[in-house]
Structure 1
Amino acid sequence: MSTYKTGTVTVTNGSTVVTGSGTAWAVALVAGGMFSSAGVAVPIASVTDDTHIVLDYNWPGTTATGAGYSIALENAAAASVVSLNTTLSRVLVTLSLAGITPDASGSLTDRAAITLGVGDKGFLFLHAEIGVAFAFYRWTGTSWDGPFPVANSAATGGVSSLVAGTGVTVDNTNPAIPVVKMANMANATVKGRTTAGTGAPEDLTMAQLDALQVASGKKREMLTANRTYYVRTDGSNSNTGLVDSAGGAFLTLQKAWDTVAALDLSIYAIVIQVRDGTYTAGINMTVMPLGGSGITIQGNTTTPANCFINATTNCFATSAPLPCGMTIQGFKLAFTGANLSAIRMSAPGTIVTLNMVLAGGSTSFAGAYNAAERGSRIIVSTGLTVSGNMSALCSADGGVIQFFGITVTLTGTPAFSWATMSATSFGLIMVSGVTFSGAATGTRYNVNSNGGINTGGGGASYIPGNSVGSAASPGWYL
């Protein structure tokens, strides 16, 4: 026999109304059947709701409160679906008696306002007040059991208290739902941090963001004006290079170049100002800056001998394309060692030289001025003095060397061990309109492998030397 007997009832002698406590007659789909209590049974006429039913006739038994009872479902009008009713009733009763509140703020005061009985056993309540940890309470049927903390994602502890903070506000209507947003920020800024250590995010301007990226090496500094770096024999490479003093200038030319090479010059110009003194190394330009309207490396333009680079390497050498024109001026250069140059270009670009003294150097084939790559060009302008021995004054090995109507002064009769000028591998030397003052020894010129020298019709003895030059076809000399 299938019966329903959840809860208790109140019956009154002479009345057809039965009142239930903890019952769910409507939910359980009781639609008739035989009601019995204390040994008396009366058919059910109708079910009003979960806690009220009407009998077919007045209750003949004694009046009783909180009495046990039983409804025989087999006799109900829905007897053909008794099994289904029973299953559904269990599901619905469970769902109706187990839930999660609050629908307000979830305070303990809200919990106390809920009226629950024995039949509500298992009801769950979420405590979500401001300033306390999230917790569940469970109704045992007679009292609240708990709190049970809500575990975090790793199930290793309770959820932190719901408290307003930076970027987090709490809805006063329902503090169980935090409102999370980014902190307020000023116009045209981004969130980041310039203050040392960890902490709250700060408003950063675009300039501050650029500075952070530059400092971290993630971005080149972009110039917004022309800039000068200084090099002095009493400087230090730990300085900024931006002040012309012992405490501000760099010590070496290479440090100055490495600093410049890390920049984005944009549309601006750079000057590396080298003060008087003797330096044992020049610049090896393996990395180039971006952009720029011009780069000037400058010594003493009035008395070049006072700014002396006495190197055992190339004094100035490029192995990457120049991003803009370069001027080198006001130096005395010595380059002692095998196959060395005062200025050697091994990549495309243009270098203009002015007010230079070539004090001598390598006697193995190289050339004081060496344009060693197609697209490389050295322009020799005013104030060139040659005062020492070397393999060649000029060597165009694929590039171009141009003299523009200047006077080249030779002092002390320098000796050129290879040739005064050499052009090979499609290299070109343009030396028309030049006045050579003084004498030299060595072969005047050497041209081969499609190289060429244009003297503007100066003749075979135009270039200094004491030995006849040679031009092997398809090389040429004009």
Structure 2
Amino acid sequence: MALRRPLALIAGLFRELPVGDAVPVEAGGTGATTAAGARDALGVREKLTAPRTYYVRTDGNDGNTGLSNSSGGAFATIQKAIDVAASFDLNGFAVTIQIADGTYAEALVLRQAIGDGVIVIRGNLSAPANVVLNSVAGTSISTKHTVEGVSLSQGSAVIRLSSVRSDIAYGAVVFGSASYAHVAATAAGRTSAIGPVTIAGSAPAHVYAGTGGSAEMRSSAVTLTGTPMFATGFAHAQILGAVLADGNTFSGSGTGPRYAAALNGIVFVGGAGATYLPGSATGTLATGGQYA
């Protein structure tokens, strides 16, 4: 069987490339005559060969490339940077989204990428309160994400994951008030604290796991300011969800139940006592829930 020639997009139609011709890609061209344009026309992802950083600033512009930390080079929105980062074959590399100080009124939606890399959303590691975001959510994604150096203060859940293999790590994060849990993992999603956490606002729960999700907050330094309230429980697990919260150090105090576990949910504290988690009331167990 004879080999077919490569296909090329010619006059809007995919045709076999004539013998002796090359795909027209020009460094200074426009549209499909650039490498990026040709990839877009053919539906091909760029495959990274090194880590890459995109910059976001309040004085940026989403029409920029995002590749330089200046008003003429940076993006204006974090979502634009997330969308660009997710368009690659990560090829095992990290794409870092470096966010300048400021307030970004965005409800961020994480995207699916391919290539077993990680997308890092990074603010100010030494002063997380200087970078204020709305919320971060991911649904049906398997790409690993890291969120660090930011203050999250609005939305139904400021870090919420759902669906199979969703994975997000976070650290150096300030949590404000939320109408749902500060951190939630459901439907086999996974969250993990990898650095210090400050809780400055109330929520029904700080950390929640349900329907097979795993929310890990282990050996972390957790600071509570302003006595936040957790109406359901600081840690809440149900429907086969697991909150793993052993080895932490807590400073400050909160109010409300310390934990709530039901419907075969587990709050694991490594054998710490009933008063280990922040709160002012005894935790509750129901219908197979466990605290251990």
Structure-1-length-normalised TM-score:
0.54
Contact 1:307 1:331 in 2 (8 A): yes
1:326 Cα deviation after fit:
2.0
> What is the alpha-carbon distance in structure 2 between the residues aligned to residue 196 and residue 438 of structure 1?
59
Aligned partner of residue 467 in structure 1, secondary structure: coil
1:212 Cα deviation after fit:
3.7
2:102 aligned with 1:288, yes or no? no
The structure 2 residue matched to 1:316, chosen from 130, 133, 136, is: 136
> What is the alpha-carbon distance in structure 2 between the residues aligned to residue 453 and residue 416 of structure 1?
15
Contact 1:269 1:292 in 2 (8 A): no
Aligned residues: 271
1:193 Cα deviation after fit:
6.4
Percent pairwise identity: 36
Q: Which residue of 2 aligns with 1:342?
A: 158
> What is the alpha-carbon distance in structure 1 between the residues aligned to residue 34 and residue 103 of structure 2?
41
Q: Which segments of 5 or more consecutive residues in structure 2 lack a partner in the other structure?
A: 1-17
> What is the alpha-carbon distance in structure 1 between the residues aligned to residue 151 and residue 273 of structure 2?
30
The structure 2 residue matched to 1:354, chosen from 146, 158, 171, is: 171
2:209 aligned with 1:396, yes or no? yes
Change (3 A) 1:192 1:427: same
> What is the alpha-carbon distance in structure 2 between the residues aligned to residue 407 and residue 184 of structure 1?
64
Contact 1:210 1:219 in 2 (8 A): no
The structure 2 residue matched to 1:443, chosen from 248, 257, 265, is: 257
> What is the alpha-carbon distance in structure 2 between the residues aligned to residue 349 and residue 231 of structure 1?
24
The structure 2 residue matched to 1:384, chosen from 188, 197, 201, is: 197
The structure 2 residue matched to 1:307, chosen from 107, 126, 131, is: 131
1:46-81 Cα distance to aligned partner (Å, 9 max, x none):
xxxxxxxxxxxxxxxxxxxxxxxxxxxxxxxxxxxx
1:289 Cα deviation after fit:
1.3
2:81 aligned with 1:221, yes or no? no
| Residue type of the alignment partner of 2:159 | I
| Residue type of the alignment partner of 1:460 | A
Change (3 A) 1:193 1:254: closer
1:196 Cα deviation after fit:
7.2
2:126 aligned with 1:333, yes or no? no
Supply the RMSD in Å over aligned alpha carbons: 2.1
The structure 2 residue matched to 1:237, chosen from 62, 66, 80, is: 62
2:73 aligned with 1:248, yes or no? yes
1:280 Cα deviation after fit:
0.5
> What is the alpha-carbon distance in structure 2 between the residues aligned to residue 254 and residue 191 of structure 1?
33
> What is the alpha-carbon distance in structure 1 between the residues aligned to residue 252 and residue 230 of structure 2?
14
1:431 Cα deviation after fit:
0.9
| Residue type of the alignment partner of 2:206 | L
1:281 Cα deviation after fit:
0.8
Q: Which residue of 2 aligns with 1:275?
A: 100
> What is the alpha-carbon distance in structure 1 between the residues aligned to residue 29 and residue 167 of structure 2?
45
Change (3 A) 1:209 1:235: closer
> What is the alpha-carbon distance in structure 2 between the residues aligned to residue 193 and residue 439 of structure 1?
61
Contact 1:233 1:279 in 2 (8 A): yes
Q: Which has the larger radius of gyration?
A: 1
Q: Which residue of 1 aligns with 2:88?
A: 263
Contact 2:25 2:35 in 1 (8 A): no
1:384-443 Cα distance to aligned partner (Å, 9 max, x none):
010111111001013111122122110111111221110011000111111111111111
> What is the alpha-carbon distance in structure 1 between the residues aligned to residue 29 and residue 51 of structure 2?
31
Change (3 A) 1:435 1:196: closer
1:414-429 alignment runs, 5 A limit: 414-429=228-243
Contact 2:139 2:166 in 1 (8 A): no
Change (3 A) 1:193 1:328: closer
> What is the alpha-carbon distance in structure 1 between the residues aligned to residue 167 and residue 23 of structure 2?
44
| Residue type of the alignment partner of 1:428 | A
Moved over 3 A (4+): 182-185, 191-197, 208-212
> What is the alpha-carbon distance in structure 1 between the residues aligned to residue 161 and residue 177 of structure 2?
18
Aligned partner of residue 106 in structure 2, secondary structure: coil
1:213 Cα deviation after fit:
2.6
Change (3 A) 1:216 1:191: closer
Change (3 A) 1:294 1:449: same
| Residue type of the alignment partner of 1:250 | F
Aligned partner of residue 395 in structure 1, secondary structure: strand
Structure-2-length-normalised TM-score:
0.87
2:192 aligned with 1:373, yes or no? no
Contact 1:265 1:291 in 2 (8 A): yes
Q: Which segments of 5 or more consecutive residues in structure 1 lack a partner in the other structure?
A: 1-181, 198-207
